[in-house]
């Protein structure tokens, strides 16, 4: 598979997902159905789906992160074994790994400063090579991949200080 195809497929999937959810809101659903929405649907309506930020994040992720974390942020197949046995294997960032137990501030810190195991770098530090906005856009992209209930649990655990406001900035 060519590199351009590896970039196009995730971007296309991202736009399909965004197109299917843009324009949906709790109020619109209540008007048409007359019934209150579920908490998962409420979370989807509250999530920040900025198409431009997600597209930038997807592009940056493919350029900088996909080689280790996979084109769909699925992580290395042996990531859990790697953690237990002490070898480097990139975890998933699609809501199925340890990403969901980290605050946004911690995610940003990891991306900026990289990761070391036993003093050996296993993930590069991106500070000085990408902007803070780039880091936030990448996080926005991979959090858009998270299932609604996963995002809701993360939001409850880290809200309000760690959840971005409408401008995309984090308080903590």
Ordered mean pLDDT values, 10 residues apiece, the chain (172 residues):
48 43 38 41 60 96 96 93 82 93 95 92 95 96 94 86 54 50
Q: Any idea where the domains of the chain sit in the sequence?
A: 3-158
Strand ranges, E, within the chain: 115-117, 120-123
pLDDT of residue 60: 97
Q: What is the pTM of this model?
A: 0.69
Task: Tell me how far CA of residue 64 lies from CA of 7, 23, 61, 170, in angstroms.
Answer: 12, 31, 5, 23
| Assigned CATH topology for domain 3-158 | Cytochrome Bc1 Complex; Chain D, domain 2 (1.10.760)
């Amino acid at each position: 598979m060519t590199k351009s195809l590896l970039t196009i497929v995730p971007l296309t999937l991202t736009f399909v997902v965004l197109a299917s959810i843009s324009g949906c809101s709790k109020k619109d659903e209540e008007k048409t159905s007359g019934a209150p929405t579920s908490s998962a649907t409420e979370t989807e309506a509250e999530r920040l789906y900025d198409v431009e930020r997600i597209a930038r994040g997807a592009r940056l992720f493919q350029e900088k992160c996909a080689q280790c974390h996979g084109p769909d942020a699925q992580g290395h197949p042996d990531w859990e074994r790697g953690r237990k046995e002490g070898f480097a294997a990139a975890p998933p960032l699609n809501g199925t790994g340890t990403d969901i137990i980290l605050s946004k501030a911690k995610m940003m810190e990891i991306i900026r400063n990289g990761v070391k195991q036993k003093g050996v770098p296993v993930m590069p530090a991106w500070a000085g090579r990408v902007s803070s906005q780039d880091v936030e856009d990448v996080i926005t992209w991979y959090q858009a991949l998270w299932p609604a209930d996963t995002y809701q649990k993360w939001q409850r655990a880290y809200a309000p200080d760690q959840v971005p406001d409408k401008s995309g900035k984090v308080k903590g």
